[in-house]
Amino acid sequence: MPPEGPQLVTKEILDACPRFRVLVVGRSGVGKSSLINYAFGIEKNSVSHQERGMCDINEEITSAQNPRFVLHDSMGFEPGQTKNFEAAKEFLRSRTGDSVALKDRVHVVWLCIQVPHAGGRVFETGDEVFLQLAFATKVPAIVVFTQFDKLITRMYPGLTAEEKKRPTEEINVLCAAKAHAEFQKLCVGPLLRMDSKLPYARSSGLAGKRNSKPDQQALALLIHITQRLMRDVATAAGDGQGVVPIVSAMAQRANAQVKIDGSIEVGMKRYWRGLASSTNFLGWKFEDCLSTIHEEITDSWNFNDPNELLNGPEFVKKIKILAQLVTPDNTEAKSWFENLDHIQALVGFGTTVVAATVGPAVAAIGLSILFTQWMAGAYNKTPETLRCFMGYIVDLTLVMDHLFLVVLLNPPRPLTEEDINEAVEKYKQSHMAKVHREIRQYVNKASFPDILQSNKAEEKVKTLIKEYCAQNEPELLTPT
């Protein structure tokens, strides 16, 4: 019998994994490249020999960040262009069936279709025939309705004069609600009439225009659907180790980078500019500053957290316990922590640390009385403030990054205390001590004035997060 609970996947197992292949099809201009970039971190347009709108379906497009993910992009099924359509059909046939090795197969098809105008046709004949071929070859297909944000924009002219007088936020909510109803009529209705079991998702805000915001919930739904289909493929193929879902998860780790970037922007924007100018948090208690940053960063990750565990007192306390370790000056640390001799590496003094001892050591520390008193004081410009803010932002972001991986490798469901505890422990036992040591080495009384006058603190935060994020870990957690 297989062992119960999570299993660690070694580098050797991962090296033996098949690569995860997705075939993306759709008409030109529907936003395929933007979707690919945001979902998997592949800048498709950066392929030097490709002209805009031109591609070779046989070419393997990969990302240095996700080398196990392989993208195949089809030329658009434009009216009258049967050559492109026939090439896509032949490619799909050649990449399916028991005679094709699992690593060489197409594992899923994303059919991208732009949300149409009222009265416009949703599915072209080529779209319908290709979906039938995917079904016949037993390749999972997902219809991705793109550019939903344009549908929201089209709702504004139809508002009444009274509705247009409402506050901007209310108008946005109203337009989104109307767009959702229109989406059900324009897209979902025709889809269900064609095939009631065909999965679908949508994308929004991926054009990269000013003020456009990617719909992270919509992207997450697409990823969850793809994950579920991959598990079905693995089961049907007798993939006992579940390697296809593992590789799928690795490919989708790029989605976490979007969230990481958001964490840095939220944390450093509010904190660093405020510290440098003494405007954002002037007169605030330090604890209130941390609470504000904590809530904004956790909200930016958009986890399914109906019980608000991420903003609850238990999780906030866990992050404070981590951040306090790097806050005091070297000369003050001993008075803050009575057992400093046993936790020097965690505070940032030591040069080595045994990972297995990190969790118990931190758990035994708890919140220092002096740290609690210090947080109750007013926000001000000191090296302690800089170390604490940097530690809090990096610690929280990297814990969230671990949590993203924990949740990604499990069926979609609300966040649990167990998920959060697992993520915190993974971060403690991975690079927490190294992060704190680098922050402490970076911020001291001598360097503080120069740091305050530059943007180097922000760059250091970005460097630490990039270097120590979970995707650089040699081991991943398999689906339970």
Judge contact between 403 and 244, C-beta under 8 A: no
And the tokens for 344? 């020097």
Q: How far from 330 is each of 62, 209, 394, 432, 442, CA to CA, in Å?
A: 46, 47, 20, 18, 13
pLDDT tens digits, 361-401 = 555 577 888 888 888 887 778 888 889 989 999 999 999 98
Q: Which of 116, 125, 133 is nearest to 23 (CA)?
A: 133
Q: How far from 274 is each of 93, 280, 452, 464, 465, CA to CA, in Å?
A: 58, 4, 11, 21, 21
CA angle 16, 22, 24 (to 5 degrees): 165
d(CA 480, CA 478): 6
Q: Alpha helices, DSSP H only, in 68-194?
A: 82-94, 125-136, 148-155, 168-183, 189-194
pLDDT tens digits, 107-145 = 899 999 999 887 778 888 778 888 999 999 889 999 999
Share of the chain above pLDDT 90, in %: 24
SS3 label, residue 52 = coil
Judge contact between 23 and 142, C-beta under 8 A: no
d(CA 19, CA 71): 10
Which residue reads 């936003």 in tokens?
Answer: 31
Q: How far from 397 is each of 149, 260, 264, 403, 473, CA to CA, in Å?
A: 28, 7, 8, 10, 15
d(CA 112, CA 390): 41
Q: Looking at residue 358, what is its pLDDT?
A: 47
**Confidence tier at 3 by pLDDT (50, 70, 90):** very low
pLDDT tens digits, 68-90 = 678 888 877 666 667 877 888 89
pTM, full prediction: 0.57
Side-chain-side CA neighbours of 227 within 13 Å: the count stands at 22
Judge contact between 346 and 353, C-beta under 8 A: yes
pLDDT tens digits, 169-204 = 899 999 999 999 999 999 999 999 988 889 999 998
Number of Cβ within a 10 Å radius of residue 48:
5
- Tell me what percent of the chain is helix, strand and coil, each rounded to the nearest 5: 55, 5, 35
Number of Cβ within a 10 Å radius of residue 188:
16
Residue 474 has φ and ψ, to the nearest 5°, of: -75, -15
Q: What does the buried/exposed string (b/e) look like for 285-302 if buried means 16 or more CB atoms within 10 Å of the residue's CB? A: ebbebbbbbbebbbebbe
Which residue reads 């347009």 in tokens?
Answer: 45
